[in-house]
Amino acid sequence: MTRLFNDPHDFVAEMLRGFAAASARWVRAAPGGVVRSTRAAEPTVSLVIGGGSGHFPAFSGLVGPGLAHGAAMGNVFASPSTQQILSVARACQQGRGILFSYGNYAGDVLNFDQAQAILRREGIDARTVVVTDDIFSAAATEAENRRGIAGDLTVFKIAGAAAEAGADLDEVERLARLANDRTRSIGVAFSGCTLPGAAEPLFEVPPGRMAIGLGIHGEPGIDEIDMPTAGELAEILVARLLHEVPDGAGRQSARVVPILNGLGTIKYEELYLLYGHIDTLLSRAGLEVVSPEVGEFCTSFDMAGLSLTLLWLDDELEPLWSAPCDTAAFRRGSISGHSAVELSAADEDSARTTAEAIPSATPESRALAARIAEAVCLIADTLDDAADELGRIDQIAGDGDHGIGMQRGSEAAARTARSLIADGAGAGTVLMRAAAAWSDAGGGTSGVIWGRIISGLATACEDSSVPRLHDVAETVAQVSTAVREFGGAEVGDKTLVDALVPFADAFTSSLPGTEATDSGSLRRTLAAATREGARAAGTAAEATADIVAKKGRSRSHGAKSLGTPDPGAVSLALIARTLADFLTETSPPHSSHPQPQHPNDGARTAVLTSQEKTLS
């Protein structure tokens, strides 16, 4: 378990401050993660890596000359937000393009892809190589669906060495893909890991048993067997990896790099004992072992477990794997020609968050914004109460962080909304900035998806006017379509979409074809439509218990998710029910969050026209 922390919500921020202070030779802090504190004599392609925290030395410990230029760091086991990735990438940009590389997890893919698209619109050439080394997480015929675990190191090292040598972006990307194609890993666990502040581990392994095929985010293993001896475990790991030799690698006299990686609490003595057996087995198989690595390279917080990775070398990859690098956690040879980065006052100013101006808004839009802020505060209360249960559902076939992510995201949105109301913001501004706050603080898949949902709803609202019933109906339908396209999920995949689509369909079909003529009928109409949507979402969320996951982290665990509803669908249904209750009330229900107050609150009743009550 994690013993040293203050507020668990601040764990990552405090850890990164300490890491940057202790590792100033290699890195400096940047909003969203760390970047190199040195630069090469000539500009190079910038390698930006990242993922959730809890994996040290991945990802921050692999930033430095010869390896990565920056690492974007999310909350523990949650992907960094799009804004965090953009912040780190912009701080690393040298004019020769950016290569993103990270493990293949849904939240990371959504957030990095969104950051890549934004950079490309800004004229920056950004590419991505996703690491897919975990052989247990999908069949060889579906290798693109595999997770990335400790094989991250081989891809990062090859790409970083190629960039250091002056290769252009096309070449760095090609070599990173080659390294990924020639890397295979398998992981096992003897016990689960516990998040900071949590009372119980994310999963447990029965006494005398070993889990096989685990991820690095606290996901349970895909299979279990009786606990083997060290020699028997070595045979299992090597046999599984040699069963799938990369195309073109061959078996006889092939040169391989074995990486035996501790996941958090396995002692180095145990790892070396195990490696002795692994080395013998590889040699007996006719393989030539090259510069083996034993230690911690990609952990899973305090998990008792380990993984074995094999990188199958060729004439291109071997010199890049052996090339010098110098980072806080991985060093090889001697590297020169780098100088310390001297930050100018302008650089430091640009790294600080600057407050955006609040656009002017009509009294009607400000009044609507106040009601929206009240609803956001109530949603945050609901998710705060449900966080433990959502986490429990998620850890059955996922990583257990859904409740925490939803809690963090909604609380950030509520704080932002309250602050904006105090500054006189209109409805469009409140929704758009609350969406950004939710996405940034929530991180992961849920953060970026809810950012999309709320920012989509913001398109129906302006600071100069209030939406009509038709605008709301059209926007809800558009949001449903946009989320499906963005996440690549459909009904039946066991995701949030399974509840979102029924909500949108029921909501829009319940609305009349004509606009209501008075505020009372508008309120009743919207409340009734939202209740119908919430009922449909709730029924659909419960029904996901009978679905085998086809998307997200639960996908790798097949039937293990049967009998348990999808946490994303459940949380959407909870939010829909909260909104229905809120709209049905003639006066705002109680929220434990301080209620937002507009500076001219006394005039609020007078400006609540029938149009403003479209959403209240």
Catalytic-role residue among 69, 217, 402, 593: 217
Is there a contact between 455 and 432 (Cβ–Cβ < 8 Å)? yes
Instruction: Report the candidate in 230, 252, 33, 246 with the shortest Cα–Cα distance to residue 133.
Output: 246
Q: CA-CA distance, 485 to 556, in Å (whole number)?
A: 22
- Tell me, what amino acid is at 501? V
CA 6 to the chain's CA centroid:
23
Inter-CA distances, 479 with 62, 455, 505, 547, 569, Å: 38, 9, 11, 24, 15
Q: CA-CA distance, 616 to 369, in Å (whole number)?
A: 10
246, two tokens: 């990369």
Q: CA-CA distance, 549 to 495, in Å (whole number)?
A: 8
The contacts of residue 351 (CB under 8 Å, 6+ apart) are 30, 31, 91
- Tell me, what amino acid is at 435? A
* Range list of β-strands (E), 132-222: 183-191, 209-212
225, two tokens: 């067997």
Instruction: Report the candidate in 498, 513, 455, 502 with the shortest Cα–Cα distance to residue 477.
Output: 502
Q: CA-CA distance, 149 to 134, in Å (whole number)?
A: 6
- DSSP letters, 345-371, are HHHHHHHSPPPPPPPP--HHHHHHHHH
Instruction: Report the candidate in 134, 178, 189 with the shortest Cα–Cα distance to residue 155.
Output: 178
Adjacent-strand bridge partners of 129:
101
Q: CA-CA distance, 27 to 30, in Å (whole number)?
A: 9
Q: How many CB atoms lie within 10 A of CB 597?
A: 13
Torsion of CA 88, 90, 92, 98, to 10 degrees: 100
State the DSSP code for 303. B
Instruction: Report the candidate in 116, 84, 9, 81 with the shortest Cα–Cα distance to residue 442.
Output: 81
Q: Is 217 a catalytic residue?
A: yes
Instruction: List the catalytic residues.
Output: 217
